[in-house]
Amino acid sequence: MTDKKAHLSVDGLEASIELPIYSGTIGPDVIDVTSLTSKGYFTYDPGFMSTGSCESKLTYIDGGKGVLLHGGYPIEELANKSDYLETCYLLLNGELPNAEQKKEFVDIITNHTMVHENIARFFRGFRADAHPMAIMCGVVGALSSFYHDSLDINDEEHRKISAHRLIAKMPTLAAMTYKHHVGQPFMYPNNKLSYSENFLHMMFGTPCDDPEVNPVLARAMDKIFLLHADHEQNASTSTVRLAGSSGANPFACIAAGIATLWGPAHGGANEAVLNMLEEIGTVDRIDEFVAKAKDKNDPFRLMGFGHRVYKNFDPRAKVMKETCDEVLTELGLENDPLLAIAKRLEQIALEDEYFIQKKLYPNVDFYSGIIMKAIGIPTDMFTVIFATGRTVGWIAHWHEMISNSYKIGRPRQLYKGYAPREFPPLEERK
Ligand code: SDX
């Protein structure tokens, strides 16, 4: 807290309204406007462009400098020196684990990867061509029907076991969603494998043939999960917080986050990027699509470009691009035509006045799809992978909110409807 104040002078009010200003560890100060309602005013900020919704210690983003920190550690450091489960531990506990803590945490997650056998029956109800995100919304929400032993959100142990179950089971459910899609039998988790090896085993292994997982692909998968782990108060995380503020159970809150992530403006962008690159088809059609993206009368946007916060490069995109080169080299796909289009599109866009002026840079979704496609993951599974990685961020924010004092989220509005009027009897209506 600080003793700095903002003084809001309002036409018609004799005295100005004094509003407290708070400073974070780093980053912009915030103006506390909670007293405005008592003065007869609401703030107005559609899309929350200028609104801080909460206090948090988990993640810090500086959009102007392209900085992303989890627990104070730069994302580049974590991506290159840590791994996904260490980052999960950091987001849940505020510190990186020591060797003993890491072993214990990895064992806990490993031993929660199986799902109740009844869940397999849910999948049989979905059509084979159901979108994987539609299935994930359903089955993750349904998890709450299995865990009545841990739904007291005010019990810290219940919160922890729910967080562990969700982090552990998301890869299993994601792989089951894929297997249902392709008509293959579900693969059980293998506790001898690492988190990301296990995911690729469940995705691409079959009862008839369960080859060794390529360590380069497992490392790339782990980096993709890690780069998607958390991102401050983005749309899906804000949804999870809002759902949690009503006291809803964590599985229902995560299902709400999955639903929000699905949109092409958010987590659905990675799928949209691949579809866009395939629609462009060849390098010589790039200019046509860049022109469409710049045309105000054309709703087309260059998917994978732009960000509400990053007005400079997205640090995750840089790591993702390096990982993309590693994976394609490992698989002998350096000449992947989609990669050629993506790299040329990035170069053209970064030199184009429109994109420079609007500060539109590649975001986390621009290269991730090319890696996932190279690994063999189908395009409509990309956002499921994003949701799997982001589950730790969602549940860490939920846990942080419930562990501290919070109120139910209930914004107000600027009302533009009718003023009170007489009710017309049916016979008098035109
Ligand atoms: C994610 O919030 C997060 O942290 C999200 C995320 C996370 O980890 O959780 O980082 C993940 O969602 C990444 C973003 C993925 N989405 C896309 O790649 C979809 C394409 N991008 C756009 O839809 C857009 O850039 C957004 C949604 C990402 C950001 O939109 P904003 O902040 O609301 O900005 P805006 O729509 O007001 O755009 C500002 C201007 C507009 O032009 P003007 O009205 O000022 O003339 O830039 C233009 C937009 O038309 N613009 C684009 C563009 N993105 C913005 N023009 C062409 N192509 C684009 N991609």
pTM above 0.75, yes or no: yes
* Cβ–Cβ < 8 Å for 196, 221: yes
Ligand 1 atom nearest to 237, measured from its CA: 9
Q: Whose CA is nearest to atom 41 of ligand 1?
A: 358
Shortest-distance Cα residue to atom 4 of ligand 1: 234
Once rounded to an integer, what is the mean pLDDT over residues 215-236? 97
Backbone angles phi, psi at 339, to 5 degrees: -65, -40
Q: What is the pLDDT of residues 265-275, one digit of tens each?
A: 999 999 999 99
- The confidence band for 350, taking pLDDT boundaries of 50, 70 and 90, is confident
The pLDDT-based confidence of 261 (bands split at 50, 70, 90) is: very high
Is 2 a residue whose pLDDT tops 80?
A: no
* Contact indicator for 218, 171 with CB cutoff of 8 Å: no
Kindly tell me the burial class for residue 254, based on how many C-beta atoms sit within 10 Å of its own C-beta (0-12, 13-18, 19 or more). Answer: buried
C-alpha span between 203 and 173 (Å, rounded): 10
Three-state DSSP class for 362?
strand
Which one of the listed residues 83, 365, 397, 399 is annotated catalytic?
365
Q: Is the CB of 373 under 6 A from ligand 1?
A: no
Bridge partners (DSSP) of residue 175 are: none
Task: Please say whether the beta carbons of 55 and 390 come within 8 A.
Answer: no
Ligand 1 and 306: CB distance under 6 A = yes
- Is residue 46 within 8 A of residue 25, CB to CB? The reply is no
Residue 352 CB contacts under 8 Å (≥ 6 apart), including other chains:
290, 294
Q: CB of 85 closer than 6 A to ligand 1?
A: no
Angle at which helix 84-93 crosses helix 215-227, to 10 degrees, equals: 30
CB-based contact 168:112 (threshold 8 Å): yes
Catalytic residue among 32, 116, 266, 325: 266
User: Are 198 and 401 in contact, with CB atoms under 8 Å apart?
Assistant: no
Q: What is the pLDDT of residue 247?
A: 97
Give yes or no: 307 in active site.
yes
- Band the pLDDT of 354: cuts 50, 70, 90: very high
Asked if residue 57 lies in contact with residue 68, where contact means CB atoms within 8 angstroms, the answer is no
Exposed/middle/buried for residue 383 (C-beta within 10 Å: 0-12, 13-18, 19+): buried
Task: Kindly report, residue by residue over 85-137, the tens digit of the pLDDT.
Answer: 999 999 999 999 999 999 999 999 999 999 999 999 999 999 999 999 999 99
Tokens of 374: 């190279």
For residue 235, how far is its CA from the centre of ligand 1 (angstroms)?
Answer: 12
**CA-only gyration radius of the chain, Å:** 24
Backbone angles phi, psi at 200, to 5 degrees: -65, -35
302 lines ligand 1 (CB under 6 A): yes
Segment 318-336 shows an average pLDDT of 92
pLDDT of residue 175: 98
Distance 393 CA to ligand 1 centre (A): 21
Q: For the chain, what is the mean pLDDT? A: 95
Under the banding of pLDDT at 50, 70 and 90, the label for residue 349 is confident
Which residue from 276, 303, 360 has its CB within 8 A of the most atoms of ligand 1, so it is best to mutate?
A: 360
The pLDDT score that the predictor gives to residue 1 is 55
The count of residues in the chain is 430
Judge contact between 217 and 199, C-beta under 8 A.
no
pLDDT for residue 149 is more than 90: no
- Which pair of tokens denotes residue 89? 């531990």
Q: Is 29 a catalytic residue?
A: no
Question: pLDDT band at 315, cuts 50/70/90?
Answer: very high
pLDDT band, residue 339 (cuts 50/70/90): confident
Which DSSP category does 334 fall into? Answer: T
Nearest CA, atom 2, ligand 1: 234
Interaxial angle between packed helices 117-124 and 156-182, expressed in degrees from 0 to 180 and rounded to the nearest 10:
40
Whole-angstrom distance, CA of residue 408 vs CA of residue 403:
14
Is the Cα torsion angle 23, 28, 34, 38 positive or negative in sign? positive
User: Which listed residue (307, 314, 380, 399) is catalytic?
Assistant: 307
